Structure 1
């Protein structure tokens, strides 16, 4: 198939190499590589995945708060079935337990166990070390503040335009 004038090889290359495509690609690659570093360190040093840590963060953020699987799925942007499988694995590992909701018997609440709380504290320290090394230290303090401020603005814009 021959490219039409509007789909010339030159136009395709220009679009693929645009600043916006490159900059967004850099953001995604950096985030993915950081995620991989965090996940590897957590698996090696704590025996849990980064996604499991995200569940524990959510469960430990506000002690006494009741969190159900649907809320976890929304918070973690996982499917309902993916969340169920993740919670199954975490329950088998002794990190969380399911409890029936007093208000709605169809709803299963998820709460951290004593072992889950201990694992969370170990994993949070490992997570912080990796983030410090690869996300904070490479930047000057002003650049770090500017980056995190910009990320907050991007997040806000994405939430405001749903």
Structure 2
């Protein structure tokens, strides 16, 4: 028995308006809007993009750690060519430098420059202000704790699926 066009349209509308679709859409829209706010503030106040800040965060997280372009691509879920272009732009801006790996000359390590560290500290403060304003302040302390705990559980479940 074939469904009528009217029945198919109604079924499609129910699917499009389902709680799961709506809730996930809200998560994505909120995350996207927050990322746009962060990126705009960083570009305006620091002259760098949010993605550049993410690279600097990764490079500054463990001082002295050797971080390859491949690790950056994996950690930031970027393509290899996208990471190369990003590091090229950051190197031109004086934020990072590539150095050969002592263990494998075929591998380029990336490290922050003095200017990159200065830019990172400025950008980290801008980032914190935007996150506080739009991610933390709208919630009660209890709601914030529950949300971050839930996000951690979601991340844990997703990571378990890929291993």
TM-score (structure 1 length as normaliser): 0.97
Instruction: Could you tell me which runs of 5 or more consecutive residues in structure 2 were left unpaired when the two chains were aligned.
Output: none
Where does 1:113-132 land on structure 2 (aligned, <5 Å)?
Answer: 113-132=113-132
Query: Which residue does the alignment assign to 1:151?
Result: 151
- How far, CA to CA, are the matches of 1:146 and 1:28 in structure 2? 18
After the TM superposition, list the runs of 4 or more consecutive aligned residues in structure 1 that deviate by more than 6 angstroms. Answer: none
Query: Which residue does the alignment assign to 2:103?
Result: 103
- How far, CA to CA, are the matches of 2:71 and 2:102 in structure 1? 17
Q: Following TM superposition, by how much is the alpha carbon of 1:8 offset from its aligned partner in structure 2, in angstroms? A: 1.1
State the secondary structure of the residue aligned to 1:126: helix
Q: 1:55-110: CA deviations, max 9, x gaps?
A: 00000000000000000000110000000000000000000000000100000000
- How far, CA to CA, are the matches of 1:104 and 1:52 in structure 2? 26
Q: 1:8-47: CA deviations, max 9, x gaps?
A: 1110000000000000000000000000000000000000
Q: Following TM superposition, by how much is the alpha carbon of 1:5 offset from its aligned partner in structure 2, in angstroms? A: 4.9
TM-score (structure 2 length as normaliser): 0.96
Query: Which residue does the alignment assign to 1:133?
Result: 133
Instruction: Could you tell me which runs of 5 or more consecutive residues in structure 1 were left unpaired when the two chains were aligned.
Output: none
State the secondary structure of the residue aligned to 2:70: helix
